[in-house]
């Protein structure tokens, strides 16, 4: 299976979006310095991070307010205690690709 999988056209989302690749959900986020990919599901309790608010490079889980660093998936506030995986992203010819095997 190829590591790099096409996720979405770069111009099809503004701040965040959910994509599913081979049955797994990823959240893509656009920040000033690039596009980043995380697991879409909060590590505390099932909730989609792609639906959370984005502030200062962090995404707030819409269910309980846990914060995660968008660039690396690290936890920034409780109740979550376990980081979410982050994945390398590249853009080629207007398409965003995720390295689905390349957890950071």
The mean pLDDT value of the chain amounts to: 95
- How far CA 73 is from CA of 11, 12, 62, 93, 94, in Å, comes to 24, 23, 16, 27, 25
The reported pLDDT for the residue numbered 64 is 93
Percent of the chain with pLDDT over 90: 92
18 — pLDDT class (breaks 50, 70, 90): very high
Q: How far is CA 21 from CA 13, 29, 69, 93, in A?
A: 17, 16, 22, 19
pLDDT digits (tens, 9 = 90+) for 43-73: 999 899 999 999 999 999 999 999 999 999 9
DSSP strand pairing (95-99 vs 4-9): antiparallel
Position 27 pLDDT exceeds 60? yes
Which pLDDT score is estimated for 104? 65
- 34: which 2 tokens? 């690039």
- pTM for the model stands at 0.94
- 1 pLDDT more than 70: no
């Amino acid at each position: 299976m190829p590591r790099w999988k096409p996720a979405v056209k770069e111009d099809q989302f503004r701040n965040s979006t959910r994509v599913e690749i081979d049955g797994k959900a990823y959240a893509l986020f656009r920040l000033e310095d690039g596009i980043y990919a995380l697991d879409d599901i909060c590590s505390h309790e099932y909730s989609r991070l792609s639906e959370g608010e984005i502030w200062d490079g962090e995404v707030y889980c819409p269910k309980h307010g846990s914060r995660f660093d968008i660039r690396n998936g690290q936890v920034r506030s409780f109740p979550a205690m376990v980081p979410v995986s982050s994945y390398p992203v590249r853009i080629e010819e207007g398409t965003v690709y995720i390295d689905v095997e390349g957890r950071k």
